[in-house]
Amino acid sequence: MANKRFGIVGFPWDGGASLGRPGARYAPKEIREAVQWFQNRISDRKVYDVERRRLVDLNDVDMIDYGDIEIVAYSREATFENAERKVKQMLQENTFPFVLGGDHSISYPIIKALHEQSEGNIAIIQFDAHLDLVDDDPIQGKYSQSSQMRRALELPRVEAKQIVQIGVRSYNYPWYAEYLKQNEIVQMTAREVHQMTAKEVADQALDACAGAEKIYLTFDIDVLDPAFAPGTGANEPGGLTPAQSFAILDHLYPHIDAMDIAEVNPLYDHQQITTSIAARILFDCLTQRSIVNHN
C-alpha cells in the first residue's frame, strides 16, 4: 500500500551546478505556482482525469506542503544535513516525499535519508540525459550535479545492478567505457527508449529493482529533448518526449517510495514550458498514487 500522505518539499539549491547553468534554486517556487493550474480543477476532493477517462478520488491522500529545506548558503554539508533530516521526518510520518529541486546534487541526501530509514536494498530509477557518475573532479568536486549517483553507490545497500538509467544519451568522458563494463548499471538510452513501448521500459526498470526494499525515482528534466524543456542546466538533443515520460512514469508511480524532480531552471525557461511539465509530473504522481490507495 502506498503512503496515504503525499508530501511536497522544496530544495532550492544549485550550489552543485558546477558545469551546468545555475538557476535551479528558483524552481520549487515556480513549480508550486504551476501546479495550481491542476489543483484548480479539484472539486469536493475529486478531479476528472481526461486522458484516462476516470474520476480520481483524492480523499485517500493528504497533500501536505512541508515548505523548503533550510539552505545554508556557505555550507553544502549543513544544507544536505538539513535535507536529510527533513526527509527522514517525512518518512517517519509515513509521508511520500516528492522533492522539488534544485540541481541534481540534491538527490544524494534524499537517497541517503531513504537508505537510513530502511533495512534492505535501495534501488534507484534515474531519468536523465547524463550518467552522473563522476567520482571527484578539480572543478566539480565530489558533490556536484554530476556526482550524486556515484555518491549513492557508496551507500552500503545500493548496488549498481539495481540502478536504472533511462534516457541517457550523447557523448561523455572516455573513462565511462571501462567503468560501465565493470559495473552492472542498467541503461536504456534515449534511442533505445524511442524503440520501446512505455510498458517495456517500465517493466525492464522494475525487473532490475526486484528484491530491493525501497525504490527511489529521480527525474532530471533534461531527460526530455530541449525542444520540450528549454529551462534546464544543459541542452542534450535527442531526448524523450513529455508523452513518453508521462506514460513510463505512470507504470512506475505505484512502486516507488520517494521521488525528486531536478534541474528545472526558470532562468532559461520560456513561457513556463518546463515548469509546467514538472508540475504535471507532480500532479500525475499524486493522482496515480491515490488510485492505488483507493483500490
- Report the distance separating Cα 72 and Cα 82, nearest Å: 9
Residue 135 is assigned to a ligand binding site:
no
Residue 115 is assigned to a ligand binding site:
no
- Report the distance separating Cα 183 and Cα 160, nearest Å: 6
What is the rounded average pLDDT of the residues 74-86? 97
Alpha-carbon distances, residue 13 vs 27, 120, 121, 216, 265 (angstroms): 9, 29, 27, 20, 11
**Res 1 pLDDT > 50:** no
8-state DSSP, 221: G
Residue 130 is assigned to a ligand binding site:
yes
**Res 173 pLDDT > 90:** yes
Residue 220 is assigned to a ligand binding site:
yes
Q: Which residues make beta-bridge pairs with 95? A: 5
Lowest mean per-residue pLDDT among 12-16, 46-50, 170-174, 291-295: 291-295
**188-230 pLDDT tens trace:** 999 999 999 999 999 999 999 999 999 999 999 999 999 999 9
Q: Which domains does the chain have, with CATH numbers?
A: 5-294 (3.40.800.10)
**Res 295 pLDDT > 60:** no
What is the rounded average pLDDT of the residues 109-124? 98
Residue 257 is assigned to a ligand binding site:
no
